[in-house]
Structure 1
Amino acid sequence: MTSKNIYTDCPIYKGSLISLRHTKLEDTENLLKCYSDEKSVPFFNSDNCNGDNFHYTTKERMRQAIEFWNYSYIHKYFVRWTIILNDTNEKIGTIEMFHRIADDEFNHYGVLRIDLRSDYETDSIISDILQIANENFFHAFDVKAILTKAIPDASERISALTNQGYAPLGKNFMIYDDYFIITQK
């Protein structure tokens, strides 16, 4: 699959605990449980998102966000998938991935954003997401490395990242810190 094909036929990915499916408007009510969760907000990566911290408290605001995500998909800016628990079909958050084009050292890197409800911010769930990303996203997005953020308080996320082969970037990504990186093997 090439980077343009993911924007014409968005795949569904299935891990051992979760599945990833392109985010739809019908996810609004379930995703509001994640994005209205004040404990989750600090873990969301809102870097370079024009001041949006992704803390949504109404169905209308959640619907607007999903409409923007779908607009961005149509225009090939990024892909946003809903994270669905395999056992219960519960929608517990989203991930976003895109191929970054920029005139800096991170040109052609992928950026992965993981937004989870706080009760699912666990090593096992995040590891399942990362396994899917590591197995599929280098090729699907035609990137040589994937960057993702984990603030120092995100101990479960950091554990999952290091267990899945990610290492601290060790410097700022643009003006932002707390990034981890994995390169294609």
Structure 2
Amino acid sequence: MKDIYEECPIYTKDLITLRQTTMEDAEELLKCYSDEKAVPFFNSDNCHGDNFNYKTLERMKKAIDFWNFSYENKYFVRWTVILNNTKEKIGTIEMFHRIADDEFNHYGILRIDLQSDYERQQIIGEILEIVNEYFFKAFDVKVILIKAIPENIERIAALSKMGYESVNRKVMTYDDYFVSLESR
């Protein structure tokens, strides 16, 4: 398997395709990141005050520029979520291998940001199928954490169906995390 930071793979399922986010995605992704109903579901924990609620194309492009910088420096990978039937770009996901001096050292952190109209169990389920099949090896982790606030019923249902359980304690200083039970 190639290093994910040398060559970013494209993943495809029935409903969605994940491919590395590029600047050409900015205009369509702004629909996601300006969606007031979606913003509360984004995981902005430990993001230095950025809540990912972007109002302008310029701000969206700055975020993508940072995501590309982070990929080049092997901090994390950001993929655009594309609907296969319409080619619409409905959000992004991010994944990284966390290194820290705590009990969650060497855990993977997965972030899923979707437009509110697409925050659905079936779409999230396909994202998690890709994650479970490829990300443990690609990021060299045995466990993956993902945030889902209690109001996010669709995400929690998808997580439960895919074998994730509530951590039931704080991750760093944050609540509402779910954990994969074991690597796939």
Name the TM tier (shorter chain): over 0.9
Task: Select which of 40, 46, 49 maps to 1:51.
Answer: 49
Deviation at 1:164, TM superposition (A): 0.5
| CA distance in structure 2 between the partners assigned to 1:167 and 1:158 by the alignment | 9
Deviation at 1:42, TM superposition (A): 0.1
Q: Give the aligned length.
A: 183
1:84 partner SS: strand
Once the two structures are aligned, what percentage of the paired residues are identical?
67
Corresponding residue for 2:169?
Answer: 171
Give the residue type in structure 1 aligned to 2:130: I
**Unpaired runs of 5+ in structure 2?**
none
1:71-86 correspondence to structure 2 within 5 Å: 71-86=69-84
What TM-score do you get using the length of structure 2 for normalisation? 0.98
| CA distance in structure 2 between the partners assigned to 1:15 and 1:129 by the alignment | 8
Corresponding residue for 1:113?
Answer: 111
Deviation at 1:63, TM superposition (A): 0.2
**Unpaired runs of 5+ in structure 1?**
none
Corresponding residue for 2:17?
Answer: 19
Corresponding residue for 1:184?
Answer: 183
Deviation at 1:31, TM superposition (A): 0.1
Corresponding residue for 2:137?
Answer: 139
Taking only aligned residues, the RMSD between alpha carbons, in angstroms, comes to 0.7
**Cα offsets for 1:55-88 (capped at 9, x unmatched):** 0010000000000000000000000000000111
Give the residue type in structure 2 aligned to 1:29: E
**Cα offsets for 1:96-132 (capped at 9, x unmatched):** 0000011111111000000000000000000000000
Task: Select which of 35, 54, 57 maps to 2:33.
Answer: 35
